[in-house]
């Protein structure tokens, strides 16, 4: 079987006890399964939740803390416990672990985004197992991932993983929450995730986890949009992850063979960049961008909204105001106000910019 690059995300409920506190037995079992994957030549990145759930009991909280300071301090205690146990457990296989703690801001900042990619790539080249969690002790509340499902989807996109495995305490996606509806039916495979399905899926989860199945579906949808197929489910024993990659996993497989990869540049533009303004285009330009894979030229522009500089990221909207793309712009907003509607040749004389494209297709992502 071809060697694969796999991102495994383990939820809090799969690492800790119902009432909080790290479960060493559960952790060892995951480690055995990951070691097996690696021994077969696969690369593995682990996204591990469980810092808050592992730490809160030690600090004297009766349940998962709800205050920011409570979560931050529980995570600080729990994260070091997690890493200590992962380190010791993987050492049984002579495998080395590395900790990376990330926040949403690290993804927004383009340089830091590149650094995440470079560090992960180097660790994988050196046969190390990166273990990633949100940096809960410093993340600002409004900017947190909250749960690690989305973080794992973004990481799987950055490193162009072959598969994202979301391990949880339930064997896949059901048509309704099986803990509340005993007649719920399980899906073994879905090819895509519609907004309707996300809407109707419950956000309630276990006592230590956050987000329930809803955040997993949102994450899986993002992963698919970045070209990464997913699996949501559970399993037992050291072969459980090998079973997943061999198509015998106990859960739901998500994605189709059409799932196409997206470059990191476009991932950053589409998911993390800050929008500085908007360019409204006519129907001809809309068709050229959407159906012919063209760059945006001055001729198709009808209106400029907001103020922006060269290299800022802007939205591209059709004349009905719908966002159709995002991209990095080669002109300032003031220059574009002067050249909108002009042929590229004439526009060059007005602004002295070298690029004839206002937004080049390599720096644009269709929405």
Ligand X SMILES: N[C@@H](CCC(=O)OP(=O)(O)O)C(=O)O
Residues of the binding site: 9, 49, 136, 148, 168-169, 210-216
Shortest gap between Cβ of 204 and ligand ADP (angstroms)?
6
Residue 42 contacts which entry, ligand X, ligand ADP, none (Cβ below 5-8 A, type-dependent): none
- Whether residue 3 contacts residue 43, with contact meaning beta carbons closer than 8 Å, is answered with yes
What, of ligand ADP, ligand X, none, does residue 136 touch, CB below 5 to 8 Å by kind? ligand X
User: Which of 20, 130, 205, 277 is the binder for ligand ADP (CB under 6 A)?
Assistant: 205
Annotated binding-site members for substrate = 49, 136, 148
Residue 265 CB, nearest approach to ligand ADP (Å): 30
Q: Which residue has the tokens 């937004």?
A: 359
Q: Is 300 in the site for ligand ADP (CB under 6 A)?
A: no
3-state helix, strand, coil in the chain (%, to 5): 40, 20, 40
Annotated binding site for ATP: 9, 168-169, 210-216
What's the min distance (Å) between Cβ of 186 and ligand X?
20
Sole window of 150-158, 202-210, 218-226, 347-355 interacting with ligand ADP (rule: CB under 6 A): 202-210
Would you say 213 or 245 has its CB closer to ligand ADP?
213
- Paired with 99 in beta bridges are 131
Q: Which does 219 bind (CB under 5 to 8 A by kind): ligand ADP, ligand X, none?
A: none
Residue 38 binds which one of ligand X, ligand ADP, none, with CB within 5 to 8 A depending on kind?
A: none
Diameter over CA atoms, the chain: 71
Edge-to-edge strand order for the sheet containing 189-190?
Answer: 97-102, 129-134, 43-48, 5-10, 163-167, 229-234, 250-254, 189-190
Tell me whether residue 168 or residue 351 sits nearer to ligand ADP (CB atom): 168
Per the CB < 8 A criterion, the answer to whether 128 and 45 are in contact is no
Which is closer to ligand ADP, CB of 6 or CB of 358? 6
Residue 23 beta carbon to ligand ADP: minimum distance, rounded to whole angstroms: 13
Residue span binding ligand ADP (CB under 6 A) among the ranges 70-78, 104-112, 153-161, 170-178: 170-178
Q: Which region among 109-117, 172-180, 256-264, 349-357 touches ligand ADP (by CB under 6 A)?
A: 172-180
Which residues have C-beta within 8 Å of that of residue 69, sequence separation ≥ 6?
none
Query: Distance (Å, rounded) from C-alpha 288 to C-alpha 284?
Result: 6
Q: Is 324 exposed, middle or buried (0-12, 13-18, 19+ CB in 10 A)?
A: middle
> Which of 251, 215, 217, 213 lies closest to 231, judged by CA?
251
Q: How many residues does the chain have?
A: 367
Q: Does 12 participate in binding ligand ADP (rule CB under 6 A)?
A: yes
Of 206, 225, 295, 333, the residue at the interface with ligand ADP (CB under 6 A) is 206
By the rule CB under 6 A, 174 interacts with ligand ADP: yes
**What does 179 interact with, of ligand X, ligand ADP, none (CB < 5 to 8 A by kind)?**
ligand ADP
Q: Which stretch binds ligand ADP (CB under 6 A): 73-81, 175-183, 273-281, 335-343?
A: 175-183
Residues 6+ apart with CB under 8 A from 72: 136, 137, 138
Q: How far is CA 216 from CA 23, 164, 172, 186, 267, in A?
A: 23, 11, 10, 15, 19
Choose the stretch contacting ligand ADP; rule: CB under 6 A; options: 26-34, 176-184, 188-196, 357-365.
Answer: 176-184
Residues that bind ligand X (CB under 6 A): 11-12, 49-53, 75, 133-134, 136, 147-148, 209-211
Candidates 160, 148, 169, 166; CA nearest to 230 is 166
DSSP 71-118: HHHHHHHHHHHHHHHHHHHHHTTT--EEEEEE-HHHHHSHHHHHHHHH
Please report how close the Cβ of residue 202 comes to ligand X at its closest, in angstroms.
14
Which residues of the chain form contacts with ligand ADP (CB under 6 A)?
11-14, 168-170, 173-174, 176-179, 201-202, 204-206, 209-213
């Amino acid at each position: 079987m071809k060697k694969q690059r796999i991102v495994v995300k383990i939820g809090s409920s799969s690492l800790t006890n119902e009432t909080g506190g790290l479960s060493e037995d559960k952790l060892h079992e995951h480690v055995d399964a990951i070691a097996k994957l690696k021994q077969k030549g696969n690369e593995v990145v682990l996204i591990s939740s469980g810092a808050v759930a592992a730490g809160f009991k030690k600090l004297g909280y009766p349940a998962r803390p709800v205050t920011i300071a409570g979560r931050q301090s529980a995570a600080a205690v729990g994260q070091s416990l997690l890493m200590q146990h992962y380190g010791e457990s993987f050492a049984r296989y002579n495998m080395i672990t590395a900790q990376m703690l990330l926040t949403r801001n690290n993804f927004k900042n383009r340089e830091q985004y590149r650094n995440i990619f470079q560090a992960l790539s180097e660790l994988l080249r050196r046969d190390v197992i990166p273990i990633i969690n949100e940096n809960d002790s410093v993340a600002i509340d409004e900017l947190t991932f909250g749960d690690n499902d989305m973080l794992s989807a973004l990481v799987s996109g950055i490193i162009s993983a072959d598969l994202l495995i979301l391990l949880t305490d339930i064997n896949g996606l059901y048509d309704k929450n099986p803990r509340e509806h005993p007649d719920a039916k399980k899906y073994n495979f879905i090819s895509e995730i519609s907004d309707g399905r996300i809407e109707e899926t419950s956000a309630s989860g276990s006592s230590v986890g956050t987000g329930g199945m809803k955040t997993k579906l949102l994450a899986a949808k993002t992963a698919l949009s970045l070209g990464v197929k997913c699996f949501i489910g559970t399993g037992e024993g050291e072969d459980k992850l090998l079973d997943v990659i061999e198509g015998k996993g106990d859960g739901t497989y998500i994605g189709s063979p059409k799932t196409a990869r997206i470059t990191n540049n476009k991932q950053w533009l589409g998911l993390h960049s800050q929008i500085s303004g908007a360019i409204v285009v006519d129907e001809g330009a809309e068709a050229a961008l959407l159906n012919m894979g063209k760059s945006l030229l001055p001729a198709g522009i009808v209106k400029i909204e907001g103020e922006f500089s060269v290299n800022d990221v802007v939205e591209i909207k059709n004349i009905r105001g719908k966002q159709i793309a995002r991209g990095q712009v080669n002109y300032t907003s003031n220059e574009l106000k002067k050249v909108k509607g002009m042929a590229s040749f004439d526009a060059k004389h007005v602004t002295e910019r070298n690029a004839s494209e206002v937004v080049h297709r390599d720096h644009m992502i269709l929405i």
